[in-house]
Structure 1
C-alpha cells in the first residue's frame, strides 16, 4: 500500500509524505502568505509590547493565542464581521461566567454541574454553526482555573476576560483593516471576471482550432473546489462594507450562478470534444456564432472588471439573426445554451448598474403571518435534538474532559498544569483522526515554543534591559510563529501553539523571566489534557473518520438524487438547484477532510479499512464530477432551445424514465454505502440507451449535417458520462460497504 494511504509511518502523520517534504510544501513562500504573516506578526508584537508596557503579561499570552487562532487571510468585510461576532460572544461569556460564579461559586458540586452544562451547550452551538469554540474556552479561564477562589474569579470574569478579548480581537481586527485590507467587492469582481476570462479562453481555443488568426489558444485555469461557495461568501462580506449591495442580493446571486453555470458548460464542452473533431473546419454559420460568443464574453469580462454597463453592447453582439442562421428550433443545441446564458448574464449586469430595487422589497403580509405562525423555536422539539445528536454528544464528551482535567489539577494541587483544561476544549474536533492530528500539532508546537523560550532566556534576555531590547530580542520568535500560522490548516495550529507557548513563558511576568519550570509544566498540562481526551474520545461515542466520511457521502448522494427533477424554466435554478448544489459541495468537502485524518486512527492499517478509504475517495471524486455534469445537463435542457412538450409522448416517457432511473440509482448507491443493500442497479444504462434510440428515430439524426449530428452526439456523450459515473460509484460503494462490514463498522 502506498504512503498516501497511511501504511508508511511518516506518511500517516504527514499526509502521505516524509517530514522534510511536508515542511517544504507547508513553509513555502508566496505573496499572499507574506501579507498574512505580516498581519499576524504585527498583532503578536503589538500585544506583547502592550502587555509589557501596561503590566498585564499573563493576559497578553492568552490574547496572542486568541489572535493566532483566526483567519489571517480574511478580507476587510470578513475581518469586521468576525471581530464583531466574537466580541458579542465575549460579552455573553462574561455575563454567563459572572452569573455562574455568583450563584454557584461557593458550592463546588453545583459549580461543576452548571459548568458542565454550560460548556456542553457552548460546544454544541459551536459545532452546529461550524464556529470556533470561543465561548467554552473563555468560560473555562475564570471559572475552572481556580475554582477555590470564586471572588477572585468574578474579578477575572469582569475584567480579565474583556481585556483578553479587546486586546486580542481588537488588535486583530484593526491590523487586518490596516495592513493591505482587501475590499471584498473588489475580490468578488475579480472572481467574476476570472470566470468569464476562462470561458472566453475556451471560445478562443475553439476559434484557433478552426484556423482563425489572432485567437490565442491558451489553457484555462481550472476552478478550485468550492469556488462558487467562496464567491457567495465574498458577496456576504461585501454587503457588510457596502450596504447598498444588499438591495441587489438576489441579482448578484443570480449573476454568480449564471456565470458559474456558463463556465461549467464551457469546461464540459472543452473536455468532451475529440481531437479529430477540433481539427475540422467550422461552417460559416457556426463560426459566426462562436465569434459572437467569444466577443460577448470578452466584453462582459471587461465591463465587469471596469464597472461599466455593457449590456447594450452585448445585446448588439448577440444578434438573434446570427444564432438563427445556425440553430434549428426543432433541435436543442449547446451553442444556443451558451447564447442564452450570455444574454441572461448581460441582462443581470445591466440590472445591477441600473440599481434595480430588490425583487422582494415589497412587504408580504402572507409571509409575515406564516413567520408569526412558526414562532416556536426548533430546539424545543425532540426532532431537533435527535437530528443533531452527534453535535450534542460532541459537546458532552469534551465538556466532561475539561471537568475531569480540572479535578485532576485540583487534586494534585499543581495549578501550573491547568493548560490541560483548555487543551480538552481546543482539541475538540469532528473525529478521532482529527483529534489525534490536532493533538500531535499541539504537543509539537508547545515543545518547540518551550525550546524557543529557553533560547531567548539563555542567549538573548541578558543582552537587553529595555522595552526596545525586549522587542528586538523577541521579533524572530514572533515572526516564526506568524509564518507557520499563516500556512495551511495542516500546519497552522503548530504555529499557534508555538506562539502561545513562547508568549506564556516570556510574558508570564513583568521584566526578566526567571521561572524556567513554566514550559515544562505547560507541556505536562497539555499531555494530561490529551491523555484524558484520548481516553474519553475513544471510549465514549467514538467518531471514526471513515464512518463519518461515509455518512457525508450518503448525504451527498441523496442530495444529488434530487437533481433529476425537471424544472419548468430557468428562473427555478436559483430557488431549487442552488441549495442542492451547495449542500452537496459541503458534504463532499467534509468527507474529503475526514478521510485525510482517517489514517491516524488505531485500526487504520487494517487492509479492509485501507480499501474502504480508497473506495470512498473514488466516490467523492466521482460525485464531485457528477454534480457538475448534472448541473450542465439541467442548464442544457433549460437553455438549449429544447421544447420538451412538443416531443412525442413516447420520447417524453423515455426521458422521464431516464430521470427517474438516475435518481433511483443514486439513492441505491447511498443505500449500498449505508449497508442496507448489497447489489447494484443495472438499469440506468438501459434507460439511457432507450432514450438515445428514441431521439435518433424521432429527429432522424443519422441524416443530419455533420455539425448537427455532433450537437446530438454531445448530448448523448453527456448522458453516457453521467451513466458511467453512477455505475463507477455503485461499484466503489459495494467495495466500501463490503469492507465496512468486514471490519465491523456499522452505519
Structure 2
C-alpha cells in the first residue's frame, strides 16, 4: 500500500528546545506522585490484559468451588502470577504447569514418605527445598517461576502436616494436583478463547508507538513526554517476544512476520526521532506531512496489517530531525535482505546463568531466602497459630536480590497487602452477608481481581502492589467453599503476610546486604558499547535495531539508579557521583536519539569515555 503525502493540514509549530545538555533532575527514589501516575496510566492494551487476567482468576475460583478445592486462594494466585497477554504464551504456560505438577507430585509423595511423623526430617526437607528453589530463582532461567514452585511444594508439605495421618497421602496428591492443574487447565482453555493472537498484540504495540510519535510532533506536555519516554525505554523486548510466539502458531507467513519484526524496531526509531523533533523543533509544514503519514500507518497496524510500501514524506532538508524521520519511513517494514550482516544478536545462554556456580551472590541469596522461610516456619509452629501460615508463602513472593529493590518495593508490598486485606475484611462485613448464591460471589471475585490485575499489568515498578492486593484478598476470602464470614481467618492471614514481609526484609538487609550500586558499573559499560554500535549502524534497519538495544540498556541503568537511591542513607556514600551518573544517563538518552539524525557525532567518544569512567 502506498501512502500519499499530505498537502494540507497545518498543526501549530512545535516549540523549539535546543538545549540538550540541560541539568538532570535531582536523583531520588520513585516518589508517590510518580507511583500514582503509573497506577493510573492508561497504557495501550492494559485494560484488556487486566480484564482477561481477572476473568482467568475468577474462572479458577469457579472451578475450584465446583471441585471443592481447599485454600482456593493458592490456585487463584498461581493463575494471576502466570497469566500471559497472548493465547500462545498462555497455552504454553498452562501446558508447562500441568507437566511440572506431575514432577511435583512425585517429589511431594516421596517427601511425605520420608517426613511423615518425623518433625525434624520435615524441617530439614523444607530448608533444602527452599534453598534449592531460591538458588534456581537467582541463578537460572526459572526465575520467577522457581519461587512459585517452591511456594507450592513447601506450602503443600506444611499444610499436609496439619491434616489427619490416614488421609495425608491422598490429600497430598489430590490437592497439590489441583493447586496447579486447575490454573493450568484454565490458562489453556480460557486463554485460547479470550486472549488475542500474539501477532495482534505486536501490531497494536507498533500502532501505539506511532500514535505516541504523533502526539510528540503535535507538541506534548510533560505528562505525555513522560509516557513517551517510558514507552521508548522498553525497546522491542515485548514486541519480539510476541513475534516469536506468533511464529509458533504456524498460521502466519514467515515473510509477514519478518516485516513485522522490522516494523517493531522501526517504531522505536520513529518514536525516538519524534522525541528529538519535539525537543529541537521542526517547521509546521514538515510536521503536517509526517503526521498524516504516521496516522495512516498506525491505522493499518491497528487493523492487524502492515503497509507494503511507504512514500517518503516531503520535508524540508533544513530540518535534520524531520529529514531523518522521513528517511526512516520508506524502509519501515522492509526487513534486511537475505545474507545481510546480522544485527545485534544476544548471545544464547544455557539454563543456568554464566556465573551460577562461581558467583557467591546466588548462594547468599538462597541462604537469606531459606533463612526467611525457616524463621517464618518457626514462628508459625512456636506460636501454634495455623492461620499465619501465609508468612511462609510471602517469603517466596517478596524476595529480591538487592537492598534497593527490597526497600523500593516494600512500600508497594505493604500498601498492596493493606489494600487487599481491607477489601477482604470489608467484603466479609458488608458484602458476604448479602450474597445468596455463587453468582454474586463470583462478581465480587472478578471486581477485586480486576483491581489487582490493573495494578499488576502496569509498569514493573508497581506490579508488586497489584499482586499483593490479590494475595491478601484471596487468602482472606477464599478459605472454604463459597462466601465466608470468618473474620478470624482474614485477620490471621493478613498478619501472616505482614510478618512474612518483615522477616524477609530483615533477612535481606541485615545479612550479606547487596547494594544495587554494585550493578551500576556493568550497566554503564554495556550502555557505552551499545552507543558505539549504534553510531556504526549503516542501514535504516540496523539503526532501528541499534536504537532499540540502546534504549533497553538505558532502562536497566536507570532502574538500577532508582534502586540505589531507595537504599538506606548510609549506603549512599557518593551522592555527587550518583548525580553525575544520572546526568550521564540523561545525556546518553538524548545522544541515542541524536545519533539517528547525526551518526557522525564528534563528541561520541567523550560521552562513552565518561560512562566508562563512571563505571569504574
C-alpha contact 2:69 2:175 (8 A) present in aligned 1: no
Please list, as runs of the form range in 1=range in 2, the aligned pairs for 1:282-297 lying within 5 A after superposition.
none
Alignment match of 2:406 (pick from 429, 432, 435): 435
* Cα deviation, residue 146, structure 1: 4.7
Aligned CA distance change for structure 1 residues 347 and 427 (closer, same or farther; 3 Å): closer
Output the CA distance in 1 between the equivalents of 2:127 and 2:239. Answer: 39
C-alpha contact 2:402 2:516 (8 A) present in aligned 1: yes
The question of 1:545 aligning with 2:516 is answered: yes
* Cα deviation, residue 136, structure 1: 1.4
* Cα deviation, residue 404, structure 1: 3.1
Please list, as runs of the form range in 1=range in 2, the aligned pairs for 1:55-66 lying within 5 A after superposition.
55-58=68-71, 60-66=72-78
Q: List alignment gaps of at least 5 residues for structure 2.
A: 1-23, 220-226, 341-347
Aligned counterpart, 1:224: 232
Alignment match of 1:239 (pick from 240, 243, 247): 247
Q: List alignment gaps of at least 5 residues for structure 1.
A: 7-11, 206-219, 283-290, 327-332, 352-357, 361-373, 634-713, 738-747
Output the CA distance in 2 between the equivalents of 1:547 and 1:478. Answer: 37
Output the CA distance in 1 between the equivalents of 2:214 and 2:444. Answer: 53
C-alpha contact 2:270 2:328 (8 A) present in aligned 1: no
Q: Which has the higher helix share?
A: 1
The question of 1:622 aligning with 2:593 is answered: no
Aligned counterpart, 2:176: 161
Alignment match of 1:556 (pick from 527, 531, 539): 527
TM-score under structure 2 length normalisation: 0.73
Please list, as runs of the form range in 1=range in 2, the aligned pairs for 1:135-150 lying within 5 A after superposition.
135-147=149-161
C-alpha contact 2:216 2:278 (8 A) present in aligned 1: no
* Cα deviation, residue 235, structure 1: 0.7
Aligned counterpart, 1:506: 477
Output the CA distance in 2 between the equivalents of 1:5 and 1:469. Answer: 48
When Rg is computed on C-alpha atoms for both structures, the one with the higher figure is 1
Cα deviation code 1:592-638 (max 9, x no counterpart): 2233333442226x7745444433322333334445556x48xxxxx
Please list, as runs of the form range in 1=range in 2, the aligned pairs for 1:211-610 lying within 5 A after superposition.
224-245=232-253, 253=261, 256-257=264-265, 259=266, 263=270, 270=277, 348=335, 384-386=355-357, 388-471=359-442, 477-510=448-481, 513-558=484-529, 560=531, 573=542, 585-603=551-569, 608-610=573-575
C-alpha contact 1:143 1:153 (8 A) present in aligned 2: no
Aligned CA distance change for structure 1 residues 252 and 44 (closer, same or farther; 3 Å): closer
Output the CA distance in 1 between the equivalents of 2:447 and 2:438. Answer: 15
Output the CA distance in 1 between the equivalents of 2:472 and 2:374. Answer: 23
| Bigger mean CA offset, 246-255 vs 530-539 | 246-255
Cα deviation code 1:613-664 (max 9, x no counterpart): 433322333334445556x48xxxxxxxxxxxxxxxxxxxxxxxxxxxxxxx
Aligned counterpart, 2:5: none
* Cα deviation, residue 435, structure 1: 2.0
C-alpha contact 2:455 2:463 (8 A) present in aligned 1: yes
Aligned counterpart, 2:7: none
Q: Supply the RMSD in Å over aligned alpha carbons.
A: 5.0
The question of 1:722 aligning with 2:604 is answered: yes
Alignment match of 2:81 (pick from 61, 69, 88): 69
* Cα deviation, residue 427, structure 1: 0.9
Cα deviation code 1:349-386 (max 9, x no counterpart): 9x9xxxxxx989xxxxxxxxxxxxx9x9886x9x7435
Cα deviation code 1:148-176 (max 9, x no counterpart): 77875544442212212233343355444
| Bigger mean CA offset, 158-167 vs 122-131 | 122-131
What secondary structure, in the 3-state scheme, does the structure 1 residue paired with 2:555 have? helix
C-alpha contact 1:193 1:301 (8 A) present in aligned 2: yes
| Higher relative contact order structure (alpha carbons within 8 Å, sequence separation ≥ 6) | 2
What secondary structure, in the 3-state scheme, does the structure 2 residue paired with 1:69 have? helix
C-alpha contact 1:51 1:507 (8 A) present in aligned 2: no
Output the CA distance in 1 between the equivalents of 2:36 and 2:207. Answer: 34
C-alpha contact 1:123 1:395 (8 A) present in aligned 2: yes
Alignment match of 2:201 (pick from 159, 182, 187): 187
Output the CA distance in 1 between the equivalents of 2:411 and 2:324. Answer: 52
C-alpha contact 1:549 1:590 (8 A) present in aligned 2: no
Output the CA distance in 2 between the equivalents of 1:390 and 1:253. Answer: 36
Aligned CA distance change for structure 1 residues 144 and 557 (closer, same or farther; 3 Å): farther
C-alpha contact 1:432 1:537 (8 A) present in aligned 2: yes
Aligned CA distance change for structure 1 residues 611 and 178 (closer, same or farther; 3 Å): farther
